[in-house]
């Protein structure tokens, strides 16, 4: 039952303290509004040096850092914060979308990377995912929602007593959605995390896989396990 | 090197043969002179001591072996004395084939009493001399050739090694590393190879500056366009939220957002193309079959829902590469096939290896691309006229081509009879392509 205990903190609304380091006022305002709407507390800083002071004081659950900043640049800022023991998850927001840029961001201690122009819904989902990670680090081995059980050790899913016949990829997709229970997961996040695709396919591969998974999962239920959040992504629970 | 040796051997052979011919000629003249001298001395004997004495002189001279053969014959050609092989009855020079191996050069003259005197010399002697000359010519010639080749090899080896270094530098540059430079000797005396290396390095400096400029421009453009586009996108998002109660307005906003996404896709593809072409990163070992399988399975439901079929035919094949770019390459190929084949088409994605190469092949049984349009299909924005009204940035196959070039792979579009077959053949670098 320990696994079930550790699961309880997975769902539910998160209230995070978020530091936004962004020199473009309009963009910063949009981000601040969007995050405040879902209950987060946001502190905006316009340049790298001020962000180092602010961030080093600690108390933030998530850092959102633009890579191009006046003063200290984003990469150096995060390296400096990491050197001072700040371990809050960090999301880089950048106009530079090349693979090498992302690798540099991850090497500097970044946890996620979002290329402009991103959708606010995308940003919100990423912040939720990072916040969840910072609050709940122990991964549960058994995930449950209604009568759906996902056993991450045996790699099998059941509805009640009935074992679901899932392909390995469908299991991974379901597992990822269940781990994020209560939070919206975007199409892009699924592409990155489940398929390892950093590019944007021109087809509906996520939608088609989700609908196949649903067909196996729901089998005539009135209320589907996986809900579609229009313009944002998918959601289990919440 | 081999050509050089052949030319040298040919030159020596010609010189040797000419020398041998000259010596043969000289020896022949000398032999004839000796034979005439011997004949004259016998005529002199005949005059002094008479016809009866000549056979005795001949016998004596034969016994003493002066290197000549003699014969005296009657006016009608009957043997009187001397070598029976030289019974001759006509004046002048001839070569008598005495037996299978012995040739005698003979001079015959009529003595005043009508008898025939023949004096000859066995050419075997001459031939032995000539053979000795030929042998020494060949030996000295062969030694000469070897010494000359050895010396030129030793002298040229250093130059070759330097040219080889230059070639290796060029190879590294073509595989995307612009930071290498060809070695230039720091000595006071420099030669053409140093000039070549310096010119090559100068060119690399210039290319490096241009690439850096392109990167800078790309980054600047990306930044200057993406920041305002972010605002547009966020405003649209908020507008859509505000328009929730108004279906017409919110549908309109969504349409704008879709158009914007299309623009951004093309924009991203252009930037990515520039990035792939100018990148210089290290490659890691990967399995082409794993990549193709993962991407293929990702697209399978989409392909099947559209009424087409996908067959995967994958065998492990190592590549040295960037997994993300290779994944995208496979994805773009599948999307391209999805876009340009009719419903009911079958796509076959295969990976295999052989002969030090790893091959990725996608074939379909759609309408294909005519041979004269295949190069255009790979060029940026090179959409064939017939497909211009279909969605897509027109950069998909260009990105495939760029990724292939980035990995040193040979990309080919061909006729699958019917349909299009696209193959990418990757070199396997043993030291890098260890499957992790």
pLDDT in tens, chain B (436 residues): 678 778 878 888 888 888 888 888 888 888 889 899 989 988 998 888 888 888 888 888 888 887 888 999 888 888 888 888 888 888 889 888 877 878 888 999 998 888 899 999 888 777 787 888 888 888 888 888 888 888 888 888 888 888 898 899 888 887 667 788 888 888 777 788 888 888 989 999 998 888 888 777 877 777 788 888 888 988 998 898 888 888 898 889 889 988 888 888 888 887 788 777 766 566 788 999 999 999 999 999 999 999 999 999 999 999 988 888 899 999 999 999 998 899 999 999 999 998 889 999 999 998 888 888 888 888 776 655 555 455 555 788 888 998 998 888 999 999 988 899 999 999 886 544 444 3
Give the CATH number of the domain where residue A214 resides.
1.10.10.10
A185: CB partners within 8 A, 6+ apart:
A125, A129, A176, A177, A233, A234, A235
pTM: 0.67
Q: Which of A133, A157, A173 is the last residue of a domain?
A: A133
The whole-number pLDDT of residue A91 equals 95
Q: Among B321, B324, B317, B329, which residue's Cα sits nearest to residue B282?
A: B321
Q: What is the pLDDT of residues A193-203, one digit of tens each?
A: 999 898 888 88
Establish if A231 touches chain B: CB-CB under 8 angstroms: yes
Assess if residue A72 is contained within a domain.
yes
Percentage of chain A modeled with pLDDT above 90: 55
Q: Are residues A73 and A161 in the same domain?
A: no
What is B306-320 written as a DSSP string? TT-EEEEEE---EEE
Decide if the complex's ipTM is over 0.90. no
Of the candidate CATH numbers 2.40.30, 1.10.3470, 1.25.40, 1.10.287, the domain formed by B192-275 belongs to 1.10.287
Q: Among B75, B60, B66, B9, which residue's Cα sits nearest to residue B38?
A: B66
CB contact under 8 A, A97 and B271: yes
Give the CATH number of the domain where residue A68 resides.
3.40.50.2300
Distance from the B158 Cα atom to the nearest Cα atom in chain A, whole angstroms? 40
The whole-number pLDDT of residue A6 equals 37
Distance from the A139 Cα atom to the nearest Cα atom in chain B, whole angstroms? 26
Quick check: B221 and A21 in contact, CB under 8 A? no
Q: Which of A68, A118, A197 sits opposite B230 (nearest CB)?
A: A118
Q: Among B396, B386, B385, which residue's Cα sits nearest to residue B362?
A: B396
Q: Are residues A121 and A153 in the same domain?
A: no
Choose, out of B214, B222, B225, B230, the residue to mutate when testing the contact with A (most A CBs < 10 Å).
Answer: B230
Of the candidate CATH numbers 1.10.1740, 1.10.3470, 2.120.10, 3.30.450, the domain formed by B2-128 belongs to 3.30.450
Q: Return residues 59-88 of A near B (CB < 8 Å).
A: 68
Q: Are residues A92 and A62 in the same domain?
A: yes
Q: Are residues A59 and A118 in the same domain?
A: yes
A·B CB contacts under 8 A? 111
Looking at the domain B282-427, which fold is it?
Heat Shock Protein 90 (3.30.565)
Q: Out of A63-72, A220-229, B329-338, pick the least confident.
A: A220-229
CA–CA gap between residue A92 and residue A51 (Å, rounded)? 14
Q: Among B332, B330, B371, B363, which residue's Cα sits nearest to residue B345?
A: B363
Q: Is the pLDDT of residue A234 over 70?
A: yes
Domain boundaries, chain B: 2-128, 192-275, 282-427
Phi and psi at residue B325, to the nearest 5°: -70, -40
By a Cβ cutoff of 8 Å, what residues of chain B touch chain A?
219, 222-223, 226-227, 229-235, 237-238, 240, 254, 264-265, 268, 271-272, 275, 279, 281, 294-295, 297-299, 301-302, 305, 322-325, 327-328, 331, 335, 338, 391-392, 396
Quick check: A187 and A230 in contact, CB under 8 A? no
Q: Are residues A80 and A152 in the same domain?
A: no
The whole-number pLDDT of residue A187 equals 92
Choose, out of B217, B220, B225, B226, the residue to mutate when testing the contact with A (most A CBs < 10 Å).
Answer: B226
Q: Which of A66, A98, A133 is the last residue of a domain?
A: A133
The whole-number pLDDT of residue B130 equals 80
Peptide bond into B418 cis (omega under 30): yes
CB contact under 8 A, B302 and A205: yes
Choose, out of A99, A100, A166, A193, the residue to mutate when testing the contact with B (most B CBs < 10 Å).
Answer: A99
| The residue to which tokens 């190069």 are assigned | B375
Q: Are residues A96 and A67 in the same domain?
A: yes
CB contact under 8 A, B231 and A30: yes
Q: Which of B222, B227, B302 sits opposite A203 (nearest CB)?
A: B302
CB contact under 8 A, A209 and B298: yes
- pLDDT range class, residue A75, cuts 50, 70, 90: very high
The whole-number pLDDT of residue B193 equals 85
How many domains does the structure of chain A reveal? Answer: 2
Q: Which of A24, A98, A198 sits opposite B227 (nearest CB)?
A: A24
A167: CB partners within 8 A, 6+ apart:
none
Q: What integer is the mean pLDDT of A173-183? A: 91
The whole-number pLDDT of residue A231 equals 79
Q: Are residues A102 and A75 in the same domain?
A: yes
Q: Are residues A197 and A221 in the same domain?
A: yes
Q: Which of A116, A133, A150 is the last residue of a domain?
A: A133
CA–CA gap between residue A190 and residue A176 (Å, rounded)? 8
- pLDDT range class, residue A13, cuts 50, 70, 90: low
For A151, the domain range is 142-236
Q: Are residues A211 and A113 in the same domain?
A: no
Establish if A43 touches chain B: CB-CB under 8 angstroms: no
Q: Which of B268, B298, B323 sits opposite A205 (nearest CB)?
A: B298
On chain A, the residues whose CB falls within 8 A of the CB of B279 are 98-100
Q: Are residues A158 and A213 in the same domain?
A: yes
Choose, out of B211, B212, B227, the residue to mutate when testing the contact with A (most A CBs < 10 Å).
Answer: B227
Query: Is residue B370 within a helix (H) or strand (E), and if so which, with residue range?
Result: none
């Amino acid at each position: 039952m320990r696994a079930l205990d550790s699961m309880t903190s997975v769902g539910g609304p998160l209230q995070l303290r978020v530091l936004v380091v962004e020199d473009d006022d309009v963009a910063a305002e949009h981000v601040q509004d969007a995050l405040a709407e879902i209950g987060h507390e946001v502190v905006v800083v316009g340049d790298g040096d001020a962000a180092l002071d602010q961030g080093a004081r600690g108390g933030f659950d998530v850092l959102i850092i633009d890579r191009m900043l006046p003063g200290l640049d984003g990469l150096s800022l995060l390296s400096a914060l990491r050197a001072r023991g700040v371990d809050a998850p960090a999301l880089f927001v950048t106009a530079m979308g090349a693979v090498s840029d992302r690798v540099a961001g991850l090497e500097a201690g970044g946890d996620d990377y979002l290329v402009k122009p991103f959708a606010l819904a995308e940003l919100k989902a990423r912040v939720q995912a990072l916040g969840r990670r910072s609050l709940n680090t122990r991964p549960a081995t058994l995930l449950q929602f209604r009568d759906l059980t996902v056993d991450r050790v045996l790699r099998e899913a059941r509805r009640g007593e009935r074992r679901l016949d899932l392909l390995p990829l469908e299991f991974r997709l379901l597992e990822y959605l269940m781990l994020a229970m209560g939070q919206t997961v975007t199409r892009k996040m699924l592409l990155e995390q489940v398929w390892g695709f950093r590019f944007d396919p021109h087809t509906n591969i996520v939608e088609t896989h989700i609908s196949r998974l649903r067909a196996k999962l729901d089998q005539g239920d009135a209320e589907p396990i996986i809900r579609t959040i229009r313009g944002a992504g998918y959601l289990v629970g919440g | 090197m081999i050509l050089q040796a052949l030319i040298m051997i040919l030159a020596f052979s010609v010189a040797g043969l000419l020398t041998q011919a000259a010596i043969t000629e000289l020896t022949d003249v000398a032999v004839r002179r000796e034979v005439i001298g011997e004949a004259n001395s016998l005529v002199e004997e005949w005059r002094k001591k008479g016809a009866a004495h000549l056979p005795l002189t001949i016998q004596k001279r034969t016994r003493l072996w002066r290197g000549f053969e003699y014969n005296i014959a009657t006016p009608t050609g009957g043997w009187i004395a001397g070598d029976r092989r030289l019974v001759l009855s006509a004046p002048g020079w001839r070569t008598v084939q005495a037996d299978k191996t012995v040739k005698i050069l003979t001079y015959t003259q009529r003595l005043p009493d009508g008898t025939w005197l023949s004096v000859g010399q066995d050419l075997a002697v001459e031939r032995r001399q000539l053979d000795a000359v030929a042998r020494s010519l060949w030996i000295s010639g062969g030694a000469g050739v070897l010494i000359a080749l050895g010396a030129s090899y030793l002298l040229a080896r250093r130059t070759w090694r330097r040219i080889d270094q230059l070639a290796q530098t060029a190879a590294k540059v073509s595989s995307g590393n612009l930071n290498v430079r060809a070695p230039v000797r720091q000595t006071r005396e420099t030669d053409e190879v140093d000039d070549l290396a310096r010119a090559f390095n100068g060119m690399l400096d210039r290319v490096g500056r241009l690439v850096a400029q392109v990167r800078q421009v790309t980054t600047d453009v990306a930044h200057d366009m993406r920041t305002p586009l972010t605002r547009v996108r966020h405003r649209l998002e908020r507008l859509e939220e505000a328009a929730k109660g108004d279906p017409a307005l919110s549908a309109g906003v969504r349409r704008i957002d879709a158009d914007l996404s299309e623009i951004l896709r093309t924009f991203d593809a252009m930037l990515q193309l520039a990035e792939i072409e100018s990148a210089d990163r290290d490659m890691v070992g990967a399995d082409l079959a794993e990549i193709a399988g993962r991407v293929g399975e990702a697209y399978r439901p989409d392909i099947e829902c559209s009424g087409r079929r996908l067959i995967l035919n994958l065998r492990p094949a190592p590549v040295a590469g960037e997994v993300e770019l290779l994944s995208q390459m496979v994805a773009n190929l599948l999307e391209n096939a999805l876009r340009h084949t009719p419903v009911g088409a079958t796509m076959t994605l295969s990976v295999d290896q052989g002969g030090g190469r790893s091959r990725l092949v996608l074939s379909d049984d759609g309408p294909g691309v005519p041979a004269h349009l295949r190069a255009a299909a790979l060029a940026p924005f090179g959409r064939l006229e017939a497909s211009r009204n279909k969605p897509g940035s027109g950069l998909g196959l260009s990105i495939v081509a760029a990724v292939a070039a980035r990995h040193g792979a040979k990309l080919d579009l061909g006729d699958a009879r019917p349909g299009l077959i696209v193959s990418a053949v990757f070199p396997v670098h043993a030291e890098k392509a260890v499957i992790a």
